Chains A and B, each alone.
Chain A
Amino acid sequence: MNKNMRKRLIRIIAGIVLLLAAVLIDTTKDWINILLFLASYLIVGGDILLRALKNILRGKVFDENFLMSIATIGAMIISEYAEGIAVMVLYQIGELFQSYAVDKSRRSIGDLMDIRPDHANLMKNGDIVKVDPDEVMVGDNIVIMPGDRIPLDAMVVEGMSMVDTSAITGESLPRDVGPGQEILSGCINVNGVITAEVTKEYEESTVSKILDLVENASSKKSSSEQFITKFARYYTPLVVILAVLLAVLPPLLIDGASFDEWTYRALSFLVVSCPCALVISIPLTFFSGIGGASKRGVLVKGSNYFEALANVETMVFDKTGTLTKGVFEVQELKAYGISKGELIELAAYAESFSNHPISKSIQKAYGREIDQANVSDVFEIAGHGIEAVVGGKKITVGNTKLMKQKNIAYDEVDLVGTSVHVGIDGEYAGYILIADQVKEDSAQAIKSLKKSGIRKTVMLTGDNKKVGEKIAGDLLLDQVYTDLLPVDKVNRLEELILQSNEKKTLAYVGDGINDAPVLARADVGIAMGGLGSDAAIEAADVVIMTDEPSKIPLAIKMSKKIISIANQNITFAIAVKIVILILSALGITNLWVAIFGDVGVTFIAILNSFRAMNFKD
């Protein structure tokens, strides 16, 4: 509770004390009681009256300050002092609670997002200088002490340690790191001192990206938020007009209807005319949801995507790096005319500029330093492979499509895996068979997705039919499309969108550079974060930080819960208001019920919205 809130609380308490005094002290002189009532009223509601007055002077009439002022002043005029003041007191308590709840929620998500590193230990001519992470350049060496937050994305040069990545990935097990391994900013170095070479400037580092993403999340609003905004715009004026009619018409039209009686009924209208409960609880729900999801390693870029996720009917997956580990290992080599060692060396050199997982695995299998000065004229053909000149020879490395295109006769490989064919100066030199592994939780993820109501699961892959169908079969996917170029993936996705129910959504899960257009085209694009490329993360709507497919059913479950909380709040608040409006018009209820209705609904709706942050599996 901050200073301002404490002041408000003190005023409320002082007001209540005076009010009780006015009610309980039995003086013979009425004016003393009235004076006490007035003092109580001004202490509790003075700021509201002042604001209402200021707004009227600015030509803005219909706001909650005005409504509360009219309702309470009206009550006083018909000599219902205690009730008028009680309405103001309860209203103020409700407002205070709202501010408190919003503040608390902003704070708890702030804590959650408290991954901003405050300094970096820069190595400068052998000394360690404490600097702002902003000032560190790519290639600088930084020292990370045990307990420190890693300030920038970097590669370990020296030292071994354990790294706690939970702030970034939600993964609770610490990871071992040693020389040559990448470390992500925002994680915490647990035990060893490590020296690392910075690979990305602060602005480009993981931590900045995530903060940016979360802070700017929900600039895209869900349809329930839009509904509330619209609803609030019409609801308040409508209720106020009804209140005026209720106060004026019956006394004029009905014999014996008293002005006081109907004014009193109309005042109840004004008390429930404030749409606060709705207006505050819906964004609070989604905000809590975004916070709760990021705590579990799922970043959602806007509250509208919760809606889309909750409505997913078709789930389309990329294979490599999404359902499989994307860690390829060379399983078999076949060389013609050269040794196996030479074959892998040439392939590794030709692929040395590529970041594709397959290239990486070939480089890894080669295992020696690659002198890139020996490589020139590198030409990458997306979905096919690479051509490069290595030591004066033209090396063609890629799939069968590339071999066909270059008119190189090749072996038909009948093994499960990805075969990379190699040509030297247009002559076939052999192939390298590389196989990937399915992620441990992929099968489980697909199973839970089906249980949670996903009607169709599809896999799109650039890989060959054999590999694709084997994996799709193992994972029990409904459909698989193989041998796809990046363009084909978009086309296939368009087809799938056309086939699907218009009211339902289609989600695409991917990771690579090739996926960015597909991610952008799907109703919900889900990117696998850790391994994924920056482009994919940018194009995606939801980012899974841990690379685990099992987070997807979790995200869907969370979305469903969040949407249902939002709906509960909307229905509950509107229903209670309507009931109070009807009861007030009939004169069955009184101001007390009305204000309890209004503030009580706000209370319950806010408490309910906090549930969106805490999700149990």
Chain B
Amino acid sequence: MKKRFIIEGLDCASCASKMEVAINKLDGVKEASVNFMTQRLVIEADEDKMSSIIEEAEKIISRIEPYSKLKKA
């Protein structure tokens, strides 16, 4: 399944690519992409692992850009 989010306050392009790399490494993620310009995060992952993946992704995002927030698109 695919889920879409908005990363509010995403203000640094290289942070966006760091987030993308880190989220892609999470267990169960088929494909994740972070678009710096549209501030969008799309995660494609197994349904049963989705909630834990989102939790992990939130941690990754606040670690890389402490001022940004994950919001449902």
Interface residues of A (CB under 8 A from B): 54, 58, 60, 64, 99, 102, 105-106, 215-221, 228-229, 232-233, 275-276, 279-280, 283-284, 286-287
The answer to whether A232 and B33 touch (CB under 8 A), given A216-B4, A216-B42, A218-B38, is no
**Do B14 and A283 have beta carbons less than 8 Å apart?**
no
**Do A218 and B14 have beta carbons less than 8 Å apart?**
no
Residues of A within 8 A of B21 (CB): 229, 233
The complex places the Cα of A221 from the Cα of B42 at a distance, in Å, of 13
Residues of A within 8 A of B20 (CB): 229
Chain A CB within 8 A of B63 CB: yes
> Which of B14, B17, B38, B66 is within 8 Å of A215, CB to CB?
B38
Residues of A within 8 A of B37 (CB): 102, 105-106, 218, 283-284, 286-287
Q: Which of B11, B20, B42, B73 neighbours the largest number of chain A CB atoms within 10 Å of its CB?
A: B11
The answer to whether A280 and B13 touch (CB under 8 A), given A54-B66, A216-B4, A218-B35, is yes
The answer to whether A287 and B13 touch (CB under 8 A), given A54-B66, A216-B4, A219-B33, is no
Q: Which of A60, A105, A216 neighbours the largest number of chain B CB atoms within 10 Å of its CB?
A: A216
Interface string of B36-72 (1 = CB under 8 A from A): 1111101000000000000000000001001000000
Q: Which of A60, A275, A279, A284 neighbours the largest number of chain B CB atoms within 10 Å of its CB?
A: A279
**Do B35 and A219 have beta carbons less than 8 Å apart?**
yes
The answer to whether A279 and B40 touch (CB under 8 A), given A54-B66, A58-B63, A216-B4, is no
> Which of B14, B17, B42, B66 is within 8 Å of A219, CB to CB?
B42
- Which of under 10, 10 to 19, 20 to 34, or 35 or more describes the interface residues of B? 10 to 19
Residues of A within 8 A of B63 (CB): 58, 60
Rounded to whole Å, the gap between the CB of A214 and the closest CB of chain B is: 8
The complex places the Cα of A229 from the Cα of B38 at a distance, in Å, of 17
The answer to whether A276 and B38 touch (CB under 8 A), given A54-B66, A216-B4, is no
The complex places the Cα of A286 from the Cα of B38 at a distance, in Å, of 11
**Do A216 and B40 have beta carbons less than 8 Å apart?**
yes
> Which of A54, A216, A276, A283 is within 8 Å of B36, CB to CB?
A283
The complex places the Cα of A215 from the Cα of B66 at a distance, in Å, of 24
With A220-B33, A232-B17, A283-B35 given, name 9 new contacts (CB 8 A).
Answer: A60-B63, A215-B38, A218-B38, A219-B40, A228-B17, A229-B17, A232-B14, A280-B13, A286-B37
The answer to whether A283 and B33 touch (CB under 8 A), given A215-B40, A219-B42, is no
The complex places the Cα of A229 from the Cα of B11 at a distance, in Å, of 16
Residues of A within 8 A of B40 (CB): 215-216, 219
Rounded to whole Å, the gap between the CB of B70 and the closest CB of chain A is: 16
Rounded to whole Å, the gap between the CB of A153 and the closest CB of chain B is: 23
* Closest residue on chain A to residue B41 by CB atoms: A219
* Closest residue on chain A to residue B66 by CB atoms: A54
Residues of B within 8 A of A287 (CB): 37-38
The answer to whether A279 and B14 touch (CB under 8 A), given A58-B63, A218-B38, is yes
Rounded to whole Å, the gap between the CB of B73 and the closest CB of chain A is: 8
Rounded to whole Å, the gap between the CB of A48 and the closest CB of chain B is: 13
Residues of B within 8 A of A219 (CB): 33, 35, 40, 42
Rounded to whole Å, the gap between the CB of A361 and the closest CB of chain B is: 40
Residues of A within 8 A of B14 (CB): 64, 232, 275-276, 279
Residue pairs across A and B with Cβ atoms less than 8 A apart, 10 shown, are: A54-B66, A99-B11, A102-B11, A106-B38, A221-B33, A228-B17, A229-B21, A283-B13, A283-B37, A287-B38
Residues of A within 8 A of B17 (CB): 228-229, 232, 279
Rounded to whole Å, the gap between the CB of A203 and the closest CB of chain B is: 14
Q: Which of B11, B13, B21, B40 neighbours the largest number of chain A CB atoms within 10 Å of its CB?
A: B13
* Closest residue on chain A to residue B4 by CB atoms: A216
Residues of A within 8 A of B35 (CB): 218-219, 283
Rounded to whole Å, the gap between the CB of A274 and the closest CB of chain B is: 9
The complex places the Cα of A58 from the Cα of B14 at a distance, in Å, of 18
The complex places the Cα of A203 from the Cα of B66 at a distance, in Å, of 34
Rounded to whole Å, the gap between the CB of A320 and the closest CB of chain B is: 33
Residues of A within 8 A of B11 (CB): 99, 102
The complex places the Cα of A188 from the Cα of B63 at a distance, in Å, of 44
* Closest residue on chain A to residue B20 by CB atoms: A229
**Do A279 and B13 have beta carbons less than 8 Å apart?**
yes
The complex places the Cα of A105 from the Cα of B14 at a distance, in Å, of 18
The complex places the Cα of A232 from the Cα of B36 at a distance, in Å, of 15
Residues of A within 8 A of B36 (CB): 102, 280, 283
* Closest residue on chain B to residue A225 by CB atoms: B17
The complex places the Cα of A287 from the Cα of B35 at a distance, in Å, of 10
